[in-house]
Amino acid sequence: MLQFGIDLGGTKTEIIALDQSGKELLRRRKPTPRDSYDAILNNILSLVNDAASELAQSYTLGLGIPGALSYQTGLVKNANTTCLIGEDLKGDLERALKQPVVITNDADCLALSEATDGAGAGFPSVFAVIVGTGCGGGWVVRGSLVSGPNAITGEWGHNPLPWREDSDAVLNCYCGLSGCQETILSGTGIRLQAREETGKDQPAEVWVAAAEAGDEEAKGVLFRHHRRLAKALAAVINLMDPHVIVLGGGVSNIASVYDVVPQLWQEWVFSDSVITPLKKSVHGDSSGVRGAAWLGAQADYSSTG
Protein backbone atom coordinates (compact mmCIF):
# COMPACT_ATOMS: atom_id res chain seq x y z
CA MET A 1 0.00 0.00 0.00
CA LEU A 2 1.28 3.46 -0.90
CA GLN A 3 1.55 6.37 1.52
CA PHE A 4 0.09 9.66 0.29
CA GLY A 5 0.83 12.85 2.19
CA ILE A 6 -0.49 16.35 1.59
CA ASP A 7 0.80 19.61 2.98
CA LEU A 8 -1.84 22.34 2.84
CA GLY A 9 0.17 25.54 3.05
CA GLY A 10 -0.79 29.17 2.88
CA THR A 11 0.55 29.56 -0.66
CA LYS A 12 0.90 26.02 -2.03
CA THR A 13 -0.66 22.59 -1.62
CA GLU A 14 1.72 19.68 -2.17
CA ILE A 15 1.17 15.92 -2.47
CA ILE A 16 3.78 13.19 -2.16
CA ALA A 17 3.46 9.44 -2.73
CA LEU A 18 5.86 7.07 -0.97
CA ASP A 19 6.17 3.32 -1.28
CA GLN A 20 6.59 1.01 1.72
CA SER A 21 10.35 1.61 1.79
CA GLY A 22 9.87 5.38 1.81
CA LYS A 23 10.92 5.87 -1.81
CA GLU A 24 9.31 8.88 -3.43
CA LEU A 25 7.16 7.91 -6.39
CA LEU A 26 5.39 11.18 -7.12
CA ARG A 27 5.34 14.81 -6.02
CA ARG A 28 3.05 17.57 -7.25
CA ARG A 29 2.21 21.14 -6.20
CA LYS A 30 -0.63 23.51 -6.88
CA PRO A 31 -1.25 27.04 -5.57
CA THR A 32 -3.55 27.13 -2.53
CA PRO A 33 -6.78 29.10 -3.00
CA ARG A 34 -6.86 31.50 -0.06
CA ASP A 35 -10.45 32.50 0.50
CA SER A 36 -12.68 29.60 -0.55
CA TYR A 37 -13.15 26.40 1.42
CA ASP A 38 -14.76 24.66 -1.54
CA ALA A 39 -11.85 25.63 -3.78
CA ILE A 40 -9.34 24.29 -1.25
CA LEU A 41 -11.30 21.05 -0.88
CA ASN A 42 -11.50 20.56 -4.64
CA ASN A 43 -7.79 21.36 -4.99
CA ILE A 44 -6.92 18.59 -2.52
CA LEU A 45 -9.27 16.11 -4.17
CA SER A 46 -7.80 16.88 -7.58
CA LEU A 47 -4.25 16.18 -6.35
CA VAL A 48 -5.27 12.93 -4.65
CA ASN A 49 -7.41 11.61 -7.48
CA ASP A 50 -4.78 12.40 -10.11
CA ALA A 51 -2.07 10.67 -8.07
CA ALA A 52 -4.27 7.66 -7.38
CA SER A 53 -5.16 7.36 -11.06
CA GLU A 54 -1.54 7.60 -12.16
CA LEU A 55 -0.14 5.12 -9.63
CA ALA A 56 -3.15 2.76 -9.62
CA GLN A 57 -2.58 1.35 -6.13
CA SER A 58 -4.39 1.58 -2.81
CA TYR A 59 -3.05 4.19 -0.41
CA THR A 60 -3.24 5.72 3.04
CA LEU A 61 -3.66 9.48 3.25
CA GLY A 62 -2.35 11.98 5.77
CA LEU A 63 -2.97 15.72 5.55
CA GLY A 64 -1.15 18.50 7.37
CA ILE A 65 -3.10 21.74 7.77
CA PRO A 66 -2.28 25.16 9.28
CA GLY A 67 -4.64 24.47 12.18
CA ALA A 68 -6.12 21.46 13.95
CA LEU A 69 -9.28 19.42 14.31
CA SER A 70 -11.34 20.01 17.42
CA TYR A 71 -11.64 16.89 19.54
CA GLN A 72 -15.11 18.06 20.55
CA THR A 73 -16.63 18.71 17.11
CA GLY A 74 -14.24 17.20 14.57
CA LEU A 75 -14.26 20.51 12.71
CA VAL A 76 -11.24 22.63 11.81
CA LYS A 77 -10.14 25.21 14.37
CA ASN A 78 -7.21 27.59 14.84
CA ALA A 79 -6.41 27.80 11.12
CA ASN A 80 -4.66 30.91 9.81
CA THR A 81 -6.29 30.02 6.48
CA THR A 82 -9.47 31.21 8.12
CA CYS A 83 -11.95 29.88 5.56
CA LEU A 84 -11.16 26.39 6.92
CA ILE A 85 -12.40 27.22 10.42
CA GLY A 86 -15.60 25.40 11.33
CA GLU A 87 -15.52 23.16 8.25
CA ASP A 88 -15.74 19.36 8.28
CA LEU A 89 -12.62 18.86 6.17
CA LYS A 90 -12.01 15.31 7.37
CA GLY A 91 -15.60 14.25 6.75
CA ASP A 92 -15.81 15.95 3.36
CA LEU A 93 -12.59 14.30 2.17
CA GLU A 94 -13.55 10.88 3.49
CA ARG A 95 -16.97 11.02 1.85
CA ALA A 96 -15.47 12.09 -1.47
CA LEU A 97 -12.58 9.61 -1.43
CA LYS A 98 -14.47 6.80 0.33
CA GLN A 99 -11.59 6.02 2.65
CA PRO A 100 -10.12 7.23 5.96
CA VAL A 101 -8.03 10.40 6.12
CA VAL A 102 -5.71 11.46 8.96
CA ILE A 103 -5.55 15.22 9.53
CA THR A 104 -3.08 16.88 11.85
CA ASN A 105 -1.27 20.19 12.31
CA ASP A 106 1.36 20.98 9.68
CA ALA A 107 3.99 21.76 12.32
CA ASP A 108 3.46 18.28 13.79
CA CYS A 109 4.24 16.87 10.35
CA LEU A 110 7.41 18.97 10.14
CA ALA A 111 8.46 17.87 13.62
CA LEU A 112 7.98 14.17 12.94
CA SER A 113 9.81 14.34 9.61
CA GLU A 114 12.79 16.24 11.01
CA ALA A 115 12.98 14.12 14.16
CA THR A 116 12.97 10.93 12.10
CA ASP A 117 15.65 11.59 9.50
CA GLY A 118 16.21 15.32 9.41
CA ALA A 119 17.88 17.98 11.53
CA GLY A 120 16.52 16.46 14.75
CA ALA A 121 17.51 12.86 14.03
CA GLY A 122 19.24 11.26 17.02
CA PHE A 123 18.06 13.86 19.56
CA PRO A 124 15.84 12.62 22.42
CA SER A 125 13.48 15.59 22.08
CA VAL A 126 12.82 17.94 19.19
CA PHE A 127 10.85 21.18 19.14
CA ALA A 128 10.21 22.08 15.51
CA VAL A 129 8.64 25.34 14.45
CA ILE A 130 7.20 26.62 11.21
CA VAL A 131 7.88 30.32 10.87
CA GLY A 132 6.33 31.16 7.54
CA THR A 133 2.97 32.72 6.76
CA GLY A 134 2.19 32.02 10.43
CA CYS A 135 3.94 30.38 13.38
CA GLY A 136 3.29 26.86 14.62
CA GLY A 137 5.20 24.23 16.54
CA GLY A 138 5.43 20.49 17.05
CA TRP A 139 6.97 18.49 19.89
CA VAL A 140 8.55 15.05 19.41
CA VAL A 141 9.94 12.98 22.29
CA ARG A 142 11.81 9.75 21.57
CA GLY A 143 10.38 9.58 18.09
CA SER A 144 6.72 10.13 19.00
CA LEU A 145 4.59 13.24 18.66
CA VAL A 146 3.35 14.71 21.92
CA SER A 147 -0.30 15.75 21.90
CA GLY A 148 -2.65 17.06 24.55
CA PRO A 149 -6.38 17.12 25.25
CA ASN A 150 -6.97 20.41 23.42
CA ALA A 151 -5.12 19.58 20.17
CA ILE A 152 -2.87 22.63 20.57
CA THR A 153 0.55 21.22 21.51
CA GLY A 154 3.27 23.55 20.28
CA GLU A 155 1.05 26.53 19.43
CA TRP A 156 3.68 28.96 20.64
CA GLY A 157 2.78 31.53 18.00
CA HIS A 158 -0.35 32.48 19.93
CA ASN A 159 1.45 33.41 23.12
CA PRO A 160 2.37 37.07 23.65
CA LEU A 161 5.99 37.98 23.01
CA PRO A 162 7.87 37.82 26.34
CA TRP A 163 10.05 40.67 27.55
CA ARG A 164 8.26 43.03 25.17
CA GLU A 165 9.83 46.42 24.42
CA ASP A 166 8.19 49.70 23.45
CA SER A 167 9.36 49.27 19.85
CA ASP A 168 7.50 45.94 19.50
CA ALA A 169 4.23 46.50 17.68
CA VAL A 170 1.04 45.11 19.23
CA LEU A 171 -0.83 43.89 16.18
CA ASN A 172 -4.24 42.29 15.84
CA CYS A 173 -4.20 38.55 15.15
CA TYR A 174 -6.75 36.53 13.20
CA CYS A 175 -7.37 34.52 16.38
CA GLY A 176 -9.17 37.52 17.88
CA LEU A 177 -6.45 38.62 20.27
CA SER A 178 -3.66 41.14 19.80
CA GLY A 179 0.05 40.90 20.44
CA CYS A 180 0.48 37.24 19.43
CA GLN A 181 4.04 36.30 18.52
CA GLU A 182 2.84 35.15 15.11
CA THR A 183 1.97 38.71 14.16
CA ILE A 184 5.61 39.86 14.35
CA LEU A 185 7.78 36.72 14.07
CA SER A 186 6.28 35.20 10.90
CA GLY A 187 7.23 36.26 7.40
CA THR A 188 4.04 38.28 7.32
CA GLY A 189 5.00 39.69 10.71
CA ILE A 190 8.38 40.93 9.47
CA ARG A 191 6.56 42.99 6.88
CA LEU A 192 4.00 44.37 9.34
CA GLN A 193 6.51 45.14 12.10
CA ALA A 194 8.85 46.82 9.62
CA ARG A 195 5.97 48.91 8.32
CA GLU A 196 5.34 50.12 11.86
CA GLU A 197 9.04 50.92 12.33
CA THR A 198 9.93 52.46 8.97
CA GLY A 199 6.66 53.39 7.26
CA LYS A 200 7.67 51.18 4.31
CA ASP A 201 5.34 48.36 3.30
CA GLN A 202 7.62 45.72 1.76
CA PRO A 203 7.52 41.90 1.82
CA ALA A 204 9.96 40.10 4.11
CA GLU A 205 11.92 38.90 1.08
CA VAL A 206 12.70 42.48 0.08
CA TRP A 207 13.99 43.33 3.55
CA VAL A 208 16.15 40.18 3.61
CA ALA A 209 17.67 40.88 0.19
CA ALA A 210 18.39 44.48 1.13
CA ALA A 211 20.02 43.43 4.42
CA GLU A 212 22.19 40.90 2.63
CA ALA A 213 23.22 43.66 0.20
CA GLY A 214 24.38 45.78 3.15
CA ASP A 215 21.48 48.21 3.57
CA GLU A 216 21.68 49.49 7.15
CA GLU A 217 17.96 50.09 7.61
CA ALA A 218 17.16 46.57 6.43
CA LYS A 219 19.89 45.10 8.63
CA GLY A 220 18.25 46.84 11.59
CA VAL A 221 14.82 45.41 10.67
CA LEU A 222 16.26 41.88 10.59
CA PHE A 223 18.27 42.27 13.78
CA ARG A 224 15.19 43.41 15.70
CA HIS A 225 13.24 40.47 14.29
CA HIS A 226 16.00 38.07 15.36
CA ARG A 227 15.99 39.60 18.84
CA ARG A 228 12.25 38.98 19.14
CA LEU A 229 12.66 35.43 17.85
CA ALA A 230 15.42 34.87 20.42
CA LYS A 231 13.06 35.94 23.20
CA ALA A 232 10.27 33.69 21.97
CA LEU A 233 12.56 30.66 21.70
CA ALA A 234 14.18 31.42 25.06
CA ALA A 235 10.75 31.04 26.62
CA VAL A 236 10.43 27.64 24.90
CA ILE A 237 13.82 26.58 26.27
CA ASN A 238 12.88 27.72 29.78
CA LEU A 239 9.65 25.74 29.66
CA MET A 240 10.59 22.60 27.72
CA ASP A 241 14.41 22.50 27.46
CA PRO A 242 14.37 20.63 24.11
CA HIS A 243 17.53 18.91 22.95
CA VAL A 244 17.29 20.72 19.61
CA ILE A 245 15.10 23.38 17.98
CA VAL A 246 14.47 22.99 14.24
CA LEU A 247 13.18 25.83 12.08
CA GLY A 248 11.02 25.43 8.98
CA GLY A 249 9.03 27.85 6.86
CA GLY A 250 10.18 30.86 4.91
CA VAL A 251 11.95 32.56 7.84
CA SER A 252 14.15 29.47 8.24
CA ASN A 253 15.82 30.45 4.96
CA ILE A 254 17.27 33.64 6.47
CA ALA A 255 20.89 32.61 7.04
CA SER A 256 21.59 35.14 9.79
CA VAL A 257 18.97 33.55 12.09
CA TYR A 258 21.29 30.68 13.01
CA ASP A 259 24.18 32.89 14.11
CA VAL A 260 22.33 35.80 15.68
CA VAL A 261 19.46 34.15 17.57
CA PRO A 262 21.59 31.71 19.67
CA GLN A 263 23.94 34.58 20.53
CA LEU A 264 21.01 36.63 21.81
CA TRP A 265 18.81 34.12 23.64
CA GLN A 266 21.30 33.60 26.48
CA GLU A 267 20.04 36.86 28.02
CA TRP A 268 16.60 35.33 28.70
CA VAL A 269 17.32 31.63 29.24
CA PHE A 270 17.41 30.67 32.92
CA SER A 271 20.75 28.88 32.80
CA ASP A 272 24.43 29.63 33.17
CA SER A 273 24.95 28.50 29.56
CA VAL A 274 22.76 27.49 26.63
CA ILE A 275 23.93 24.60 24.47
CA THR A 276 20.63 24.04 22.65
CA PRO A 277 21.32 23.80 18.90
CA LEU A 278 19.18 25.84 16.52
CA LYS A 279 19.05 24.05 13.16
CA LYS A 280 17.48 24.57 9.78
CA SER A 281 15.16 21.80 8.62
CA VAL A 282 16.99 19.35 6.38
CA HIS A 283 14.02 18.63 4.17
CA GLY A 284 12.93 22.27 3.87
CA ASP A 285 9.36 22.84 2.77
CA SER A 286 9.06 19.13 1.96
CA SER A 287 9.23 18.11 5.62
CA GLY A 288 5.53 18.71 6.17
CA VAL A 289 4.38 16.56 3.29
CA ARG A 290 6.73 13.72 4.22
CA GLY A 291 5.54 13.76 7.83
CA ALA A 292 1.92 13.79 6.69
CA ALA A 293 2.52 10.66 4.62
CA TRP A 294 4.07 8.83 7.58
CA LEU A 295 1.30 9.88 9.95
CA GLY A 296 -1.32 8.76 7.49
CA ALA A 297 0.27 5.32 7.36
CA GLN A 298 0.94 4.97 11.09
CA ALA A 299 -2.08 6.55 12.76
CA ASP A 300 -5.31 4.95 13.85
CA TYR A 301 -7.25 7.51 11.78
CA SER A 302 -8.02 9.81 14.66
CA SER A 303 -6.52 13.29 14.47
CA THR A 304 -3.66 14.41 16.65
CA GLY A 305 -2.93 17.82 18.16
Give yes or no: residues 223 and 237 share one domain: yes
Give yes or no: residues 99 and 168 share one domain: no
For 247, the domain range is 119-281
Task: Give me the chain's average pLDDT, please.
Answer: 94
Give yes or no: residues 57 and 143 share one domain: no
Q: What is the pLDDT of residue 301?
A: 44
In this predicted structure, the answer to whether residue 302 has a pLDDT above a threshold of 80 is no
Q: What is the pLDDT of residue 299?
A: 64
Q: What is the pLDDT of residue 65?
A: 95
Give yes or no: residues 141 and 104 share one domain: no
Q: What is the pLDDT of residue 295?
A: 87
Give yes or no: residues 123 and 160 share one domain: yes
Categorize the per-residue pLDDT at 220 as very low, low, confident or very high, splitting at 50, 70 and 90: very high
Give yes or no: residues 258 and 196 share one domain: yes
Q: What is the pLDDT of residue 133?
A: 85
In this predicted structure, the answer to whether residue 288 has a pLDDT above a threshold of 90 is no
Lowest mean pLDDT among 51-65, 99-113, 161-175, 281-295: 281-295
In this predicted structure, the answer to whether residue 303 has a pLDDT above a threshold of 90 is no
Give yes or no: residues 129 and 87 share one domain: no
DSSP string, the chain: -EEEEEEE-SSEEEEEEE-TT--EEEEEEEEPPSS-HHHHHHHHHHHHHHHHHHH-S-EEEEEEESSEE-TTT-SEES-SSGGGTT--HHHHHHHHHTS--EEEEHHHHHHHHHHHHSTTTT-SEEEEEEESSSEEEEEEETTEE---TTS-TT-GGGSBPTT--TTS---B-TTS-B-BTHHHHSHHHHHHHHHHHHS----HHHHHHHHHTT-HHHHHHHHHHHHHHHHHHHHHHHHH--SEEEEESGGGG-TTHHHHHHHHGGGTSSSS-----EEE-SSGGGHHHHHHHHHHHHS-SS---
Q: List the CATH number of the domain containing 70.
A: 3.30.420.40
Average pLDDT over residues 149-172: 94
Average pLDDT over residues 27-36: 93
- Give the total number of structural domains in the chain: 2
Give yes or no: residues 145 and 263 share one domain: yes
Give yes or no: residues 44 and 145 share one domain: no
Give yes or no: residues 127 and 227 share one domain: yes
Residue 305 lies in a domain: no
Per-residue model confidence as pLDDT tens digits over 81-96:
999 999 999 999 999 9
Per-residue model confidence as pLDDT tens digits over 223-244:
999 999 999 999 999 999 999 9
Residue 113 lies in a domain: no
Q: What is the pTM of this model?
A: 0.89
